[in-house]
Amino acid sequence: MTSLYCPVDILAFGAHPDDVELSCAGTLLHAHALGQRTAVVDCTRGEMASRGTAEERDAESAAASTLLGLTARRNLDLGDGRLMDTQEFRDAVAAEIRRFQPRLILCPAPGDRHPDHDAAGRLVQAAAFYARMKTRVLRDAETGEPLAAHSPGLVLVYPMHELERPSLVIDISPYWPQKMEIVRTYRSQFLNPMPDDYTFIGTRDYLHAIEARGMFYGNMIQTAYGEPFVARSPLRIADLLNDLAGGKAGL
């Protein structure tokens, strides 16, 4: 093992530096509280956003990483607004999967209305295949060292703008205040005044929308707040009673 590697339990990908916080902050806080190692890889620096410079967003992202208790965070800087599902980008993402050797990967759900979110979801799902192929040589971009193949145990996608029926919902009720504190770390995105003609992200209502979404998914599992995930393949369960029946699912 060399310093090329940084093994973690959970690796969460986002297209932009606030995607993971908006969608998975409670899940990552819960994992951290359980002693699990977590990391985030952002595909772009969000430099094409309506507000906030790339430098501001780097600083916000660093502050959020500390509050999340991440082991590491990296940014691939693949170009905000230009993220595409290409071979070159698939390899860049697959190299990160090999670097972090996660047991579980989280990524945006393909099909989101934002093209970068859609592309990030497709890239990560394809990269998870490439990461495990021993015949596929992937090198660290800085050193040129080859990275050993790694097979993640599971990839879950997280819905963003689109509503999807989740395969599972994580109860994040105890972490809700922390999640919103972390979201507010992105001051350039959520707390700056907006032009009168701008009516979506950045308005006060957007923070309310985040709360409403958390309550909507929490209600599905009869709890205050939840974060949804979708499995693209059936989940393998070892113990039906202990793994599922404690959650009151479907009652």
Q: Which residues bind Zn ion (CB under 5 A)?
A: 15-16, 19
Strand partners, 74: 41
Query: Toward Zn ion, which CB reaches closer, 200 or 237?
Result: 200
Tokens 């990391």 -> residue: 39
In angstroms, what is the minimal distance from the CB of 9 to Zn ion? 24
| Rounded Cα distance, 110 and 119, in Å | 7
* CB of residue 184 to Zn ion, shortest distance in Å: 16
Q: How far is the CB of 35 from Zn ion (least distance, A)?
A: 29
Distance CA 16, CA 98 (A): 21
Distance in Å, CB of 14 to Zn ion, minimum: 7
Query: Across the chain, where does the E strand assignment appear?
Result: 10-14, 38-42, 72-75, 104-108, 154-158, 168-171, 226-231
Q: State which residue, 20 or 156, has the beta carbon closest to Zn ion.
A: 20
Q: 232: Cβ–Cβ under 8 A, 6 or more apart, which residues?
A: 125, 155, 157
Identity of the residue, 15 or 68, whose beta carbon is nearer to Zn ion in the bound complex? 15
Contact 19, 160 (CB under 8 A): yes
Q: Nearer Cβ to Zn ion, position 19 or 96? A: 19
Q: Could you identify the residue written with the tokens 């701008």?
A: 198
Residue whose token pair is 């202990």: 242
- For Zn ion, which is the closer residue by CB, 15 or 156? 15
In the chain, count H helices and then E strands. 8, 7
Cβ-closest position to Zn ion: 16
CB 136, min distance to Zn ion, A: 28
CB of 251 vs Zn ion, minimal distance in Å: 35
Q: Which of 128, 176, 175, 122 is nearest to 153 (CA)?
A: 128
Pick between residue 105 and residue 160 the one whose CB is nearest to Zn ion.
160
